[in-house]
Structure 1
Amino acid sequence: MTPRAKPANLRARLYTVLMVLALASTALVVRAVDLQVVRKDFYQGEGDARYLRDIPVPVSRGTIFDRNGEPLAVSTPVESIWGNPQELLANPDQLPVLANALGVTTADLTERLVQRKDKEFLYLKRPVDPDAARDILALKIPGVASERAFRRYYPSGEILAHALGITNIDDRGQEGLELAFDDWLAGKPGLKRVIRDRLGHVVENVELLQEAQPGRDLILSIDRRIQYLAYRELKAAIIDHHASSGSMVILDVSNGEVLAMVNQPSFNPNSRTAIDPAFRRNRAVTDVVEPGSTMKPFTIAAALESGRWKSDSPIDTTPGTLMLPGGYTISDHRNYGLINVTRVITKSSNVGAAKIASSLSSEHMYDVFHRFGFGEVSGCGFPGESPGFLPISKSWGPVEKATISYGYGLSVTPMQIAQAYAALANGGRLRQPGFVKGAVNPDSAVIDPQIAANVRSMLETVISPEGSGLAAAVPNYRVAGKTGTSRRAIAGGYEKRYVSLFAGMVPASNPRLVGVVVINDPGQGQGAYFGGLVSAPVFSKVMANALRLLDVAPDNVQRWYAGSPDVGHPIGPASEPPAYPADQPNYEEAVP
Structure 2
Amino acid sequence: MALVMGLFGLIALGLVARAFDLQVVSKGFYQAQGDSRFLRVMPISVSRGAIFDRNGEPLAVSTPVVSIWAIPGEVLGEPERIPELAKALQMDPSDLKQKLQQHADREFMYLRRRMQPEAADAVLAMNIPGVNGQREYRRYYPSGEVTSHVLGFTNIDDHGQEGLELAYDNWLAGKAGAKRVVRDRQGHVVEDLEQVKDPQPGRDLTLSIDRRIQFLAFNELRATVERTGADFASMVILDVATGEVLAMVNLPTYNPNAKLSNNPGERRNRAATDVFEPGSTMKAFTLAAALSSGKYTPTSPLIDTTGGHFMYLGHDIHDVERGGNGWLTPTGVITKSSNIGAAKIAISLDTMLMYNTYRAFNFGSSTDSGFPGEASGYLKNGATWGQREKAIFAYGYGENVTALQLANGYATIADNGVMHRPSFIKGVDNPAKAIVAPEVAHELVKMLETTTQPGGTATKARIANYTVAAKTGTAHKAQAGGYAKNSYEAVFAGIVPADHPRLVGVVIVDNPVKGGYYGGQVSAPVFANVMTGALRLLDVPPDNIGRWYAGGPVQSPSGLVGSKPPEDAPAEEAPADEVP
Assess same fold via TM > 0.5: yes
- For 2:298, the equivalent position in structure 1 comes to 311
Match of 1:482 among 462, 471, 483: 471
Deviation at 1:568, TM superposition (A): 6.1
Q: Deviations over 1:538-581 (max 9, x none)?
A: 00000011001100000001125499x99369xxxxxxxxxx99
Q: Which moved more, 1:41-50 or 1:113-122?
A: 113-122
Letter in 1 for 2:517: Y
Larger Rg belongs to: 1
For 1:390-429, what aligned pairs fall within 5 Å after superposition?
Answer: 390-429=379-418
- For 1:253, the equivalent position in structure 2 comes to 240
Deviation at 1:132, TM superposition (A): 0.6
CA distance in 1, matches of 2:441, 2:570: 28
Letter in 1 for 2:418: R
For 1:226-265, what aligned pairs fall within 5 Å after superposition?
Answer: 226-265=213-252
- For 2:310, the equivalent position in structure 1 comes to 322
Q: Is the 8 A contact 1:80 1:126 kept in 2?
A: yes
Q: Is the 8 A contact 1:461 1:562 kept in 2?
A: no
Letter in 2 for 1:549: L
Letter in 2 for 1:485: T
- For 1:200, the equivalent position in structure 2 comes to 187
Match of 1:125 among 94, 99, 112: 112
- For 1:501, the equivalent position in structure 2 comes to 491
Change (3 A) 1:561 1:390: farther
Letter in 1 for 2:32: G
Q: Deviations over 1:132-172 (max 9, x none)?
A: 11111111111110111000000011010001110111111
Q: Deviations over 1:93-117 (max 9, x none)?
A: 2222211111111222122223322
CA distance in 2, matches of 1:433, 1:267: 24
- For 1:388, the equivalent position in structure 2 comes to 377
- For 2:16, the equivalent position in structure 1 comes to 29
Deviation at 1:389, TM superposition (A): 0.5
Match of 1:511 among 501, 507, 521: 501
Change (3 A) 1:24 1:384: same
CA distance in 2, matches of 1:214, 1:342: 57
Task: Find out whether 1:528 has 2:513 as its counterpart.
Answer: no
Match of 2:419 among 398, 417, 430: 430
Task: Find out whether 1:160 has 2:150 as its counterpart.
Answer: no
CA distance in 1, matches of 2:259, 2:130: 28
For 1:269-418, what aligned pairs fall within 5 Å after superposition?
Answer: 269-313=256-300, 314-325=302-313, 327-334=314-321, 335-418=324-407
Q: Is the 8 A contact 1:485 1:589 kept in 2?
A: yes
Letter in 2 for 1:416: Q
- For 2:562, the equivalent position in structure 1 comes to none
Deviation at 1:225, TM superposition (A): 0.4
- For 2:571, the equivalent position in structure 1 comes to 586
CA distance in 2, matches of 1:290, 1:148: 50
Q: Report the secondary structure of 2:121's partner residue.
A: helix
Q: Is the 8 A contact 1:465 1:586 kept in 2?
A: no
Q: Is the 8 A contact 1:380 1:433 kept in 2?
A: yes
Q: Deviations over 1:196-247 (max 9, x none)?
A: 1122211111211111111011111111100100001011111111111010
Deviation at 1:19, TM superposition (A): 2.0
Q: Which moved more, 1:454-463 or 1:358-367?
A: 358-367
CA distance in 2, matches of 1:540, 1:585: 15
Q: Is the 8 A contact 2:152 2:163 kept in 1?
A: yes
Q: Report the secondary structure of 1:222's partner residue.
A: coil
Task: Find out whether 1:72 has 2:81 as its counterpart.
Answer: no
List alignment gaps of at least 5 residues for structure 1.
1-13, 570-579
Q: Report the secondary structure of 1:466's partner residue.
A: coil
Taking only aligned residues, the RMSD between alpha carbons, in angstroms, comes to 1.7
CA distance in 1, matches of 2:497, 2:269: 28
For 1:206-221, what aligned pairs fall within 5 Å after superposition?
Answer: 206-221=193-208
Deviation at 1:24, TM superposition (A): 1.9
Deviation at 1:29, TM superposition (A): 1.3
Q: Report the secondary structure of 1:320's partner residue.
A: strand
Letter in 2 for 1:202: V
Task: Find out whether 1:556 has 2:544 as its counterpart.
Answer: yes
Q: Deviations over 1:419-449 (max 9, x none)?
A: 0000000000001010111110000000000
Q: Is the 8 A contact 2:458 2:570 kept in 1?
A: no
Deviation at 1:587, TM superposition (A): 4.1
Letter in 2 for 1:347: K
Task: Find out whether 1:135 has 2:122 as its counterpart.
Answer: yes
Task: Find out whether 1:449 has 2:434 as its counterpart.
Answer: no
CA distance in 2, matches of 1:442, 1:179: 25
Q: Report the secondary structure of 2:316's partner residue.
A: strand
Q: Is the 8 A contact 2:475 2:575 kept in 1?
A: no
CA distance in 2, matches of 1:260, 1:218: 16
Q: Report the secondary structure of 2:571's partner residue.
A: helix
CA distance in 1, matches of 2:197, 2:33: 24
Q: Deviations over 1:505-554 (max 9, x none)?
A: 1000010000000010111xx54100001000000000011001100000
| TM-score normalised by the chain length of structure 1 | 0.93
CA distance in 2, matches of 1:162, 1:275: 16
| TM-score normalised by the chain length of structure 2 | 0.95
Q: Report the secondary structure of 1:332's partner residue.
A: strand
List alignment gaps of at least 5 residues for structure 2.
558-566
CA distance in 2, matches of 1:202, 1:138: 14
CA distance in 1, matches of 2:26, 2:372: 57
Letter in 1 for 2:547: R
CA distance in 2, matches of 1:110, 1:295: 64
Q: Is the 8 A contact 1:562 1:568 kept in 2?
A: no
Letter in 1 for 2:157: D
CA distance in 2, matches of 1:561, 1:530: 22
CA distance in 2, matches of 1:337, 1:116: 82
Q: Report the secondary structure of 2:320's partner residue.
A: coil
CA distance in 2, matches of 1:557, 1:493: 47
Letter in 2 for 1:319: G
CA distance in 2, matches of 1:37, 1:231: 74
Task: Find out whether 1:180 has 2:167 as its counterpart.
Answer: yes
Q: Report the secondary structure of 1:462's partner residue.
A: helix
Q: Which moved more, 1:268-277 or 1:467-476?
A: 268-277
